[in-house]
């Protein structure tokens, strides 16, 4: 299992994979650890989860460097990711007991209530784009609920996977309550089908989600899927264009555009298109591209060369179909999988970047006549993860947000995941929720107890 630096193309390290026998041993050890862990108190779990937050912060630079080297994350964003992981640990350390307290129900019984019991081992199949955050937003609530976790991380971030396991060990969690499986994708099915694994959570492509859901479904196991996204960013005629454009650039370029909830389709009323595209192109064309470990770098490489090639193919096919290139659209000279920040305007239905998810620094500007057409275009997508809507009239913004088909809509703001709010999508963006009170209840047995 090779980790390759996408900024240089050099091999970082070749990690040994776990054998089938080693996987069986890990699952057995994790199952044994869970039998004890499920009976621990919230106070005990909370103490350890708080320590996990401390371990993250005390080793922030170390963990940020691992992410930056393995998948090209800009170092300033990598540090922020470590801090966000510490935040989610603290959030569930503080609130898990309240979220999972018995819910009293008034019936004819002398006492009736709902309890929330841990399910067991949860398998997490996680992607490379946010190598720490994607894992901790599952692990913090799952462990606080009394579950155990095994992680099958993306094959290009094995160092991150082992570092996350280290965090929980350093924090004092039982050694086998959270384990990393160093296995290829072809072995995931066997792990899903193992009777000791009770549920699966996956963040990744819709194709991977369909495969995992199909396998888990055949075993009658619970799944939560957070899949792709092609988030709309709606700009109405009364939007504050300077503020809107500045946030649009940040939203499109976070993690070099490699985010499921990055704004991708900029749906702009015709009267504002010229102003919007000019201002956005000016910001994106001036961003500093380079070594992701340099403090002043704003745009790093695409995580893998093949992904950079796929992105360029989407751009090329869109331009051939009539899209208008405003800026970018080419590779960056030199080693590494770099791609210029790109703006394409006059995007219409039928063009690749109108309907396909673009995972990189490519902005699609789609002109529309008015708010009604904007909502129609926003919903004209297989995806439904997040979205943004910009207007001076917040009441109008709220009313329109209710009509956008997605798991989240931010009015006059950038779509973000937040431990306090549920996160997830609809349509081909998946199902189920992470974070908030809804997230911690995904992997529990909702049990009715009735006493005569």
What is the 8-class DSSP label of residue 11? E
74 and 297 in contact (C-beta within 8 Å)? yes
Selection from 355, 257, 266 nearest residue 314 by Cα: 355
266 and 365 in contact (C-beta within 8 Å)? yes
Tell me how far the alpha carbon of residue 324 is from its chain's centroid. 30
Known active-site residue 97:
no
Alpha carbons 62 and 79: distance in angstroms, whole number: 9
Alpha carbons 4 and 2: distance in angstroms, whole number: 6
Selection from 63, 49, 209, 216 nearest residue 131 by Cα: 63
Secondary element (H or E) of residue 276: helix 270-285
Give 346-368 as a 3 state SS string.
CCCCCCHHHHCCCCCCEEEEEEE
**Residue 173 to residues 148, 160, 165, 183, 263: CA-CA distances in angstroms?**
11, 18, 10, 23, 37
What is the 8-class DSSP label of residue 220? T
Secondary element (H or E) of residue 326: strand 324-327
What is the 8-class DSSP label of residue 339? B
Check 260, 357, 405, 442 and give the catalytic one.
Answer: 260
Alpha carbons 272 and 267: distance in angstroms, whole number: 10
Give 155's Cβ-side CA count (13 Å radius).
13
Sequence-distant (≥ 6) Cβ neighbours of residue 76 within 8 angstroms: 295
Radius of gyration of the chain (CA): 22
What counts of helices (H) and strands (E) characterise the chain? 15, 18
Which residues does residue 268 pair with via DSSP β-bridges, in sequence order?
A: 235, 367
Known active-site residue 226:
yes
Sequence-distant (≥ 6) Cβ neighbours of residue 152 within 8 angstroms: 123, 124, 125, 126, 181, 183, 188, 191
Check 77, 226, 356, 405 and give the catalytic one.
Answer: 226
Q: What is the token pair recorded at 334? A: 């030199």
Q: Name the residues annotated as catalytic.
A: 226, 260
């Amino acid at each position: 299992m090779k980790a390759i630096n996408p900024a240089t193309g050099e091999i970082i390290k070749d990690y040994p994979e776990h054998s089938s026998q080693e996987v069986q041993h890990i699952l057995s050890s994790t199952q044994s650890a869970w039998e004890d862990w499920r009976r621990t108190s919230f106070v005990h779990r909370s103490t350890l989860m708080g320590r996990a937050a401390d371990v993250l912060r005390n080793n922030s630079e170390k963990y940020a460097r691992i992410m930056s080297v393995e998948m090209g994350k800009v170092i300033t964003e990598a540090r922020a990711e470590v801090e966000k992981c510490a935040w989610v640990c603290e959030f569930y350390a503080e609130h898990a007991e309240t979220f999972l307290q018995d819910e009293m129900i008034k019936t004819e019984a002398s006492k009736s209530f709902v309890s929330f019991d841990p399910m067991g081992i949860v398998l997490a199949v996680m992607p490379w784009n946010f190598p720490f955050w994607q894992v901790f937003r599952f692990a913090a609530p799952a462990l606080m609920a009394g579950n155990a976790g095994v992680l099958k991380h993306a094959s290009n971030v094995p160092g991150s996977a082992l570092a996350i396991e280290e965090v929980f060990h350093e924090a004092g969690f039982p050694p086998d309550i959270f384990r990393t499986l160093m296995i290829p994708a072809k072995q995931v099915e066997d792990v899903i089908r193992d009777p000791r694994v009770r549920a699966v959570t996956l963040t990744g492509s819709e194709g991977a989600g369909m495969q995992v859901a199909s396998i888990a479904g055949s075993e009658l196991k619970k799944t939560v899927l957070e899949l792709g996204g092609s988030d709309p960013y709606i700009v109405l005629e009364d939007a504050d264009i300077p503020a809107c454009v500045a946030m649009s650039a940040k939203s499109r370029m976070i993690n070099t555009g490699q985010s499921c909830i990055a704004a991708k389709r900029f749906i702009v009323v015709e009267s504002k298109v010229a102003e919007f595209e000019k201002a956005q192109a000016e910001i994106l064309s001036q961003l500093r591209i380079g070594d992701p470990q340099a403090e002043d770098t704003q745009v790093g490489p695409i995580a893998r060369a093949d992904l950079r090639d796929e992105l360029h193919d989407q751009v090329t096919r869109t331009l051939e179909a009539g899209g208008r290139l405003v800026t970018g659209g080419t590779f960056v000279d030199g080693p590494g999988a770099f791609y210029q920040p790109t703006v394409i305007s006059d995007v219409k239905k039928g063009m690749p970047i109108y309907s396909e998810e673009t995972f990189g620094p490519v902005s699609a500007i789609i002109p529309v006549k008015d708010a009604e057409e904007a909502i129609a275009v926003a919903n004209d997508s297989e995806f439904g993860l997040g979205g943004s809507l910009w207007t001076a009239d917040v009441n109008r913004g709220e009313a329109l947000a209710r009509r956008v088909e997605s798991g989240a809509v931010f009015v006059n703001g950038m779509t973000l995941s937040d431990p306090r709010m549920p996160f997830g999508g609809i349509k081909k963006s998946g199902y189920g929720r992470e974070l908030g009170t809804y997230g911690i209840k995904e992997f529990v047995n909702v049990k009715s107890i009735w006493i005569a």
